[in-house]
Copies of this chain bind each other. A is one copy, B any other.
Amino acid sequence: MEEKGISRAVIKRLPRYYRYLGELLEDGVERISSGELSERMKVTASQIRQDLNNFGGFGQQGYGYNVRYLYSEIGKILGLDRVHNMIFVGAGNLGQALANYAAFERSGFKTVGIFDVNPVLKGISVRGIEIRMADELPEFIKEHHVEIAALTLPKAKAVEMAEILVDNGVKAIWNFAHTDLNLKLPKDVIVENVHLSESLMRLSYNLTRYEAEHPKNN
C-alpha cells in the first residue's frame, strides 16, 4: 500500500471515516456506496473517493465499499491493528479521568502506567494500575516498551518531563499541557496536542460573534 505524501488534511479525516465505518458495522451494514457515505458524513462523494484513493482505493464500480474490509484497512493505516503501550504522566484530575477511560484500550492503546511527582498520590490505584513516582520512569519505560506518553500535567513541568520521556525511548507524546511542546523537542518526536482551553476560546469566539449578530436573542 503506497501512502507517501498524504496531506495532513486527509490524515485528519481518516479517524472520522473510521468512526463512521465502525458505526455502519454496528448497524449491520455490509457495503455502502460513496454516495450513501457522503450523505451520512456530509462531505461530497468525490471527496470520499479522492481521499480513499490515496490508499489505493477500496471501492468497486457498481458495488461500493465493503464496510468491514475498508474499516479494517483504515484501522491498519492508523496503526490500530496492534497494541500501543501508553503511560499517563500527571495523575491529577485529568490524568486520572483519561486513564480511567476504557475506550482507548478498545482501540489498542493500553495504559500500562500512571506517574506523578506528588508523593500523596503514590500507590493510589486507577483502574487497577497504581500511581508511581516519576523517578521510576526511565526504568519503567524500557521494561514495558512504552511508546506513547500522555502529558497531563501543568505546563511548568511539561518540557522537563517530556525530555526525560524522550531520552528514555518514548516516541510519541499526547500533550495536554498548555505549551507548544513540539517547538522544544527533537524533530522526530511525535507530538499530538490537545489544547482544551484553546478549544473553549474558539467556542467563545463563535458565541460572541453570534450574539453580536443576534442582539434580540439576549
Contact = CB atoms under 8 A, between A and B. Distances in A.
A203 B84 CA distance: 11
Given A93-B101, A171-B211, A188-B210, 10 more contacts: A3-B209, A11-B202, A15-B201, A15-B202, A19-B178, A77-B208, A94-B97, A147-B207, A190-B210, A194-B194
B196 A194 contact: yes
Contacts of A101: 93-94, 196
Given A202-B11, A207-B148, A210-B171, A197 B103 contact: yes
Interface in A64-100: 77-80, 84, 93-94, 96-98, 100
A3 B199 CA distance: 20
Contacts of A103: 197
Interface residues of A, number: 58
Interface centre among A171, A198, A204 (most CB of B within 10 A): A204
A174 B198 CA distance: 12
